[in-house]
């Protein structure tokens, strides 16, 4: 069916507005105004009745879309065997972050220790955590589990630099039990942090949040500030702001562009489901050094959102502690791939050095 876009004066249809753009079928028999009204009504039915109806009925489904945690990507993997993912200096363990909640966690030691690590048990790994090397806690995004390629990729980069890495699967993800909620995810991250702090001595502890994990990271940073704890450093990769305001700006388009596949960052319907992740508000309170990492071709979070958050962070705290590195769109990293960048180790090392200097080491 051939369609053409027609711009016409609304006056001929009895509207006050001067101009409107619409799509019209060639050779339609109906008069243009009847055609317009029918579609208008249909759109209203869909938007005003069906959408809120389905949103309220399928709250569980929404939660599912937000976290897509049930997607066990990669499929058919044994998370208790990190060596299957060529992480031969990694141990799998389980934390109880809250009564009845078991979290699957990997601890990878610095790559230089891979030989020494062969056949070692939990106690060895736990002792090694206090060897003075920086410890990273990686909070992953919203699909799949800790074995996803890009997550393993980040772990390898950090481990090669001589750092420890802990990668938990939040409640409901991977082989962890429970159902995800925003508060629950933050509790899980807090538990991992406290566990690390009790076992790592004076080592630097840095959070690396990716995507959804950036929301968890900033929530956690603010929560710890309430206990007068300032995180040593936070890396926010592929971060998003709370999209609640976006929705009023875009009103009717939010439903489409927020949907999984095109973008999945939590406008108001999800806020009813207690999913907010107010990262921008959190940034105004945070006191930790922050490094934003972002690909300019990120298809889920446009770079301008991160630029804005970077400015917010700069304005609200010591601007020297806030850094942003963006990767050229031509590199094709999209939302997940910047771990592949050959400059990344150097960037991370410089960030860690600045944190160590800040800490007075």
Ligand X SMILES: *[C@@H]1O[C@H](CO)[C@@H](O)[C@H](O)[C@H]1NC(C)=O
Contacts of 35 (CB under 8 A, 6+ apart): 24, 25, 28
Which of 169, 188, 232, 298 is the catalytic position? 298
| 74 prior amide bond cis, ω within 30 | yes
Smallest gap from residue 83 Cβ to ligand X (A) = 8
How many other CB atoms are there within 10 angstroms of residue 314's CB atom? Answer: 17
Of 114 and 124, CB closest to ligand X: 114
Task: Indicate the residue whose CB is closest to ligand X.
Answer: 88
Among 13, 36, 114, 316, interactor with ligand X by CB under 6 A = 114
CB 170 within 8 A of CB 145: no
How many residues contact ligand X, by CB under 6 A?
3
Nearer to ligand X, 115 or 304 (CB): 115
Cα 252 to its chain centre, rounded Å, is: 24
First and final CA of the chain: distance in angstroms? Answer: 70
Identify the DSSP state of 301: S
Nearer to ligand X among residue 310 and residue 339 (C-beta): 339
Closest CA to 122 of 208, 206, 195: 195
Answer yes or no: 297 catalytic: no
Residue 354 interacts with ligand X (CB under 6 A): yes or no: no
Cβ atoms of 279 and 309 closer than 8 Å: yes
211 noted as active-site residue: yes
Q: How far is the CB of 165 from ligand X (least distance, A)?
A: 12
Question: Binding string, 77-106, against ligand X, x = CB under 6 A?
Answer: -----------x------------------
Give catalytic residues, as residue numbers. Answer: 211, 298, 335
Which residues sit at the interface with ligand X, rule CB under 6 A?
A: 88, 111, 114
């Amino acid at each position: 069916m051939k369609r053409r876009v027609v711009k016409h004066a609304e006056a001929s249809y009895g509207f006050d507005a001067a101009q409107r753009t619409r799509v019209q079928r060639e050779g339609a028999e109906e008069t243009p105004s009847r055609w317009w009204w029918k579609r208008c009504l249909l759109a209203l039915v869909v938007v005003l009745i069906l959408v809120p109806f389905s949103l309220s009925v399928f709250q569980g489904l929404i939660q599912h879309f937000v976290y897509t945690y049930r997607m066990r990507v990669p499929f058919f993997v044994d998370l208790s065997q990190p060596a299957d993912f060529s992480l031969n200096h990694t141990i799998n363990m389980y934390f109880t972050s809250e009564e009845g909640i078991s979290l699957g966690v990997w601890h990878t030691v610095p790559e230089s220790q891979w030989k020494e690590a062969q056949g070692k048990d939990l106690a060895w790994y736990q002792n090694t955590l206090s060897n003075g090397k920086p410890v990273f806690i990686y909070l992953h995004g919203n699909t799949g589990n800790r074995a996803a390629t890009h997550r393993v990729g980040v772990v390898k980069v950090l481990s090669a630099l001589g750092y420890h890495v802990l990668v938990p699967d939040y409640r409901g993800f991977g082989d962890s039990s429970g159902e995800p909620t925003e508060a629950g995810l933050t509790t899980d991250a807090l538990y991992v942090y406290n566990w690390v702090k009790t076992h790592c001595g004076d080592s630097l502890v840095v959070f690396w949040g990716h995507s959804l994990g950036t929301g968890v990271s900033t929530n956690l940073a603010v929560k710890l500030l309430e206990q007068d704890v300032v995180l040593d450093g936070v890396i926010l990769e592929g971060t998003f702001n709370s999209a609640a305001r976006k929705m009023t700006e875009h009103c009717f388009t939010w439903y489409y562009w927020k949907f999984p596949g095109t973008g999945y960052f939590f406008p108001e319907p999800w806020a009813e489901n207690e999913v907010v992740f107010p990262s921008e508000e959190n940034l105004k309170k945070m006191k930790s050094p922050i490094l934003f990492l972002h690909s300019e071709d990120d298809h889920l979070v446009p770079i301008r959102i991160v630029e804005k958050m970077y400015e917010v962070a700069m304005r609200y705290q010591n601007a020297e502690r806030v850094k942003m590195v963006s990767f050229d769109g031509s590199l094709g990293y999209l939302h997940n791939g910047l771990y592949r960048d050959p400059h990344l180790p150097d960037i991370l090392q410089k960030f860690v050095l600045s944190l160590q200097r800040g800490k007075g080491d």
